[in-house]
């Protein structure tokens, strides 16, 4: 990362990354940024949790190859989010495995991502937890407050919400452009540009998610084919006991 000497809020690199000075990047040698990515203040990337199971020689020989977190282009990591590579027992020892983000991935405020793979054009809302080794495909919208269980696979064009998360709807055909983060990228940085009038899609999409959460219209389930989904999380009332285990 080439540091410019201007004292702005962000450090802007040659490849167009905008990293907030207050961002918390740990183990930067294990973090790969594709470019044009925004990392806001207090966002944390745990690059230190790199693969440990490999023979020590390879790790020392090629430090770049042992990537812990790989991020594509035009990603947006909001304030206070955390990207953390997932870990598990592998060949008898505990090891972390890389976390990969595609392009145009938005990560909301206070969200923790421990997925194995996040595809391109994915919107992850605020205060979401993505469990370990979850796989999120392209064009997925995770609504605010969702908890995606570990190992879950979310297919393309899904809208996911709830605790635990479930697919509650389908991204409509007209909603694909709303995942584009190029305009949002321009609005942050040391000399930000105002959001042009053109990005109305995102605005109305937000209204849609509030629609979902506030159940403004009682028959709102008619669009998107949602069922039994109100107040931001699906009706899964009175689950008797969560922490049950007999082993």
Residues 44-63 contacting another protein, CB under 8 A: none
3-state DSSP call for residue 10?
strand
Q: What is the dihedral of CA 103, 124, 137, 209, to 10 degrees?
A: -120
Min CB(95)–another protein separation in Å: 12
Residues 227-246 that bind another protein (CB under 8 A): 228, 235-246
Question: Which one of the spans 28-36, 57-65, 72-80, 195-203 is the region binding another protein (CB under 8 A)?
Answer: 195-203
Question: Which one of the spans 1-9, 13-21, 77-85, 208-216 is the region binding another protein (CB under 8 A)?
Answer: 208-216
Q: Which residues of 168-198 are buried (b: 16+ CB within 10 A; e: fewer)?
A: bbbbeeebeebbbbeebbbebbeeeeeeeee
Per CB under 8 A, 174 contacts another protein:
yes
Could you tell me which residues come within 8 angstroms of residue 198 by beta carbon, excluding any fewer than 6 positions away? Answer: 183
- Please state the separation of Cα 210 from the chain's center in Å: 20
Question: Which one of the spans 25-33, 40-48, 61-69, 210-218 is the region binding another protein (CB under 8 A)?
Answer: 210-218
- Give the residue, chosen from 115, 164, 181, 229, that forms a contact with another protein under the rule CB under 8 A: 164
Sheet of 117-118: strand order equals: 31-33, 69-71, 99-101, 117-118, 135-136, 153-154
Cβ pair 168, 174 in contact under 8 A: no
Q: Residues 62-101 vs another protein: string with x where CB under 8 A?
A: --------------------------xxxxxx--------
- Give the residue, chosen from 155, 184, 187, 188, that forms a contact with another protein under the rule CB under 8 A: 155
Per CB under 8 A, 201 contacts another protein:
yes
- Give the residue, chosen from 15, 65, 210, 231, that forms a contact with another protein under the rule CB under 8 A: 210
Min CB(217)–another protein separation in Å: 5
- Give the residue, chosen from 81, 175, 226, 233, that forms a contact with another protein under the rule CB under 8 A: 175
3-state DSSP call for residue 158?
strand
Residue with structure tokens 């009038």? 197
Min CB(105)–another protein separation in Å: 14
Min CB(3)–another protein separation in Å: 26
């Amino acid at each position: 990362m080439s540091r410019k000497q201007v004292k702005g809020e962000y450090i802007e690199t040659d490849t167009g990354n905008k990293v907030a000075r207050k961002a918390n990047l740990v183990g930067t040698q294990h973090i790969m940024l594709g470019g044009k990515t925004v990392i806001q203040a207090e966002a944390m990337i745990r690059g230190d949790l790199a693969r440990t199971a490999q023979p020590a020689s390879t790790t020392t020989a090629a430090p770049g190859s042992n990537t812990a977190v790989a991020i594509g282009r035009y990603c947006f990591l909001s304030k206070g989010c955390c990207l953390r590579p997932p870990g598990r027992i592998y060949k008898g020892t505990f090891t972390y495995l890389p976390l990969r983000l595609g392009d145009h991935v938005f990560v909301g405020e206070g969200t923790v991502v421990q997925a194995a793979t996040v595809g391109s054009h994915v919107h992850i809302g605020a205060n979401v937890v993505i469990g370990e080794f979850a796989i999120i495909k392209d064009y997925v919208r995770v609504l605010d407050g969702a908890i995606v269980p570990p190992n879950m696979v979310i297919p393309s064009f899904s809208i996911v919400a709830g605790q635990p998360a479930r697919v509650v709807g389908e991204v409509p055909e007209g909603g694909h452009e709303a995942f584009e983060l190029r305009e949002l990228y321009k609005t942050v940085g040391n000399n930000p540009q105002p959001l042009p009038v053109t990005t109305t899609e995102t605005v109305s999409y937000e209204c849609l998610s509030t629609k979902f959460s506030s159940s403004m219209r009682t028959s709102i389930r008619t669009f998107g084919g949602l069922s039994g989904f109100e107040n931001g999380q699906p009706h899964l009332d009175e689950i008797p006991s969560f922490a049950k285990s007999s082993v």
